[in-house]
Amino acid sequence: MTQNDIQIATGELGEPVMGPQRQQLTVAVHSGLAPIRTLSSGKVRMAGGHHALAHIHADSEIQVYVVRGRIASLTGPDMTPIVHGPGSFVYIAPGVEHVGVNLDPYEPAELVEFRTDPAFNKDVVPLPSLDAFAEARVTELRREYLLGRCHERLAAPSVHAFTR
């Protein structure tokens, strides 16, 4: 092979697995498929009424695109809620505490994530000390959603960046 040759690796999406953050993940492009140094991607599916456990990605930047659903991110040690509708983009910096929430009690949410973790999900650090607080925030946020208080913010795609 010369320097200009291109290698093509083709794979199929694997079966969804449950990640340590309690998210259903389907890894797409990752270091097991190609000699990836800094970027991976995959799908996240959240059943109706589901939310992740509190966690950080120790070293990875994450960019999320909301394909379908009405979701929220709880971020930081105070679990500040921000809502995202279909077509929205979300950036999460390394080390930022967060919880993904599907606000709809019945309809699943589908997201595409791009991470600077070549393996896609190796640097997840659970934060069990925040889980009870996050659960209380989820309950409050779902009540607001069911009362229609989030609908205006979900009507148009948005862009949010969570950094330190």
| pLDDT for the residue numbered 156 | 87
| pLDDT for the residue numbered 1 | 47
The neighbour count for residue 163, using CB atoms within 10 Å, is 11
> Is there a contact between 52 and 127 (Cβ–Cβ < 8 Å)?
no
The top-level CATH class assigned to 17-162 is mainly beta
Q: Which two tokens stand for residue 104?
A: 């709809």
Q: Which amino acid is at 37?
A: R
Scanning the chain, the segments in alpha helix (DSSP H) are 131-146, 151-154
Q: Which two tokens stand for residue 50?
A: 């589901």
User: SS3 helix, strand, coil % of the chain, rounded to 5?
Assistant: 15, 35, 50
pLDDT digits (tens, 9 = 90+) for 60-72: 999 999 999 999 9
pLDDT digits (tens, 9 = 90+) for 136-155: 999 999 999 999 999 888 88
Q: Is the pLDDT higher at 5 or at 133? A: 133
